[in-house]
Amino acid sequence: MEEGNGMGGFVAGLGAALGLVAVIMATGAGADPTPVAASKPASGLSADVTPPVANPAVVSGNPGAAPLPVASAAPPVTPATTPTATVASSPPASVVTPVVANPGAAGTPNGWDRNNAQDVNQTCAACHGPKGEGGKGGEYPRLAGQIQAYMERQLHDFKDRHRINIPMFPYTQARELPEKDIRDITHFLAEQRVSVTVPAVEGNVAMGQEDYLAECAMCHGKEGEGKPQQEGSKKHGPALAEQYPLYLQRQLNLFATGERNNPAMREVMREVSAERMNNIVAFMVTLERHPGLAREQALETQRRILEIMQGLAAPAGGGSSQ
């Protein structure tokens, strides 16, 4: 009887695939990229049935629309719903390992422990996302691709209560996070390449850009890529590109009031008016952390959807044991 459902199986499969695509679109696929991996991509069987027509149409129709939305609609900051970071945070699963840029067989470039980092990350991921892409619309900041030494220092600052934050504090206590863990997890997060679509902010982007280049770029980089601290130079600062505006604005307020204590930023806040700062934030959220990566990820998502659909459309042999 199994043989009989060649066509039926195909149709059902296609239906399921469409359902899946719908789900993926609805959830932004961010939720759980796992099922994707589960579906066997190329189960060589019945390649003859591949529905060449259906696939491309459906596939190119949907996710194609997704990739560009850097400056998504206008709604400035709506943290309640998180429709924003979706597209980009989904495909990370596919981008998981490619960055393993260590030639040495065993270790990592700086001799940090990747396995331990991944263990530690399970705790952090609950708030910051599996690849440090951030969460809850910026309630939890993006950490992916942030400068390693900066993150290490922040963790020490939280630990010493130099930087006060209630959610972060317990995770930095020695029992929770010994020095080795701090080193490993910050290296791990620093090497994550993720593209996150952050919400747009209303403001004068052109003026913001001008101000950003004049007032901020020397420490945070022209593209908001951040500048590592150099011996003897005060011109350094964390990456700001593709950081959630909700988080950026909160930090700026904390610097302004002195609750987050940093002399460089304190001075900046004294010199730049609130209105100008808002324009600067409006500009900052247009910066790409890894130029071109958003597009790459969108294409990868498209490729995976196609793969799923082909996997479903081709009834895997032997599956019908009962």
Query: Residues interacting with ligand HEC, by CB under 6 A?
Result: 120, 123-124, 126-128, 140-141, 143, 146, 151, 153-155, 165, 167-168, 171, 177, 185, 215-216, 218-220, 234-238, 240, 248, 250-252, 262, 264-265, 268, 272, 280
> Which of 12, 24, 8, 94 lies closest to 59, judged by CA?
24
Contacts of 314 (CB under 8 A, 6+ apart): 10, 13, 43, 45, 46, 47, 49, 50
In the complex, minimum distance from the CB of residue 321 to ligand HEC, in angstroms, rounded to a whole number: 43
* DSSP state letter for 135: B
User: Is 24 or 185 the residue whose CB approaches ligand HEC more closely?
Assistant: 185
User: Is 236 or 289 the residue whose CB approaches ligand HEC more closely?
Assistant: 236
Determine the residue type at 1: M
DSSP for 189-232? HHT------PPP--S-HHHHHHHHHHHTHHHH-TTS--B---TT
User: Is 94 or 123 the residue whose CB approaches ligand HEC more closely?
Assistant: 123
Location of structure tokens 């032997």:
318
Tokens representing 32 are 């759980």
User: Is 8 or 178 the residue whose CB approaches ligand HEC more closely?
Assistant: 178
User: Is 167 or 319 the residue whose CB approaches ligand HEC more closely?
Assistant: 167
In the complex, minimum distance from the CB of residue 301 to ligand HEC, in angstroms, rounded to a whole number: 27
User: Is 159 or 304 the residue whose CB approaches ligand HEC more closely?
Assistant: 159
In the complex, minimum distance from the CB of residue 263 to ligand HEC, in angstroms, rounded to a whole number: 9
Q: Three-state DSSP class for 247? A: helix
> Which of 272, 166, 263 lies closest to 210, judged by CA?
272
Tokens representing 289 are 């952390």
In the complex, minimum distance from the CB of residue 61 to ligand HEC, in angstroms, rounded to a whole number: 37
Strand boundaries in the chain, DSSP class E: none
In the complex, minimum distance from the CB of residue 281 to ligand HEC, in angstroms, rounded to a whole number: 7
* DSSP state letter for 190: H
In the complex, minimum distance from the CB of residue 154 to ligand HEC, in angstroms, rounded to a whole number: 4
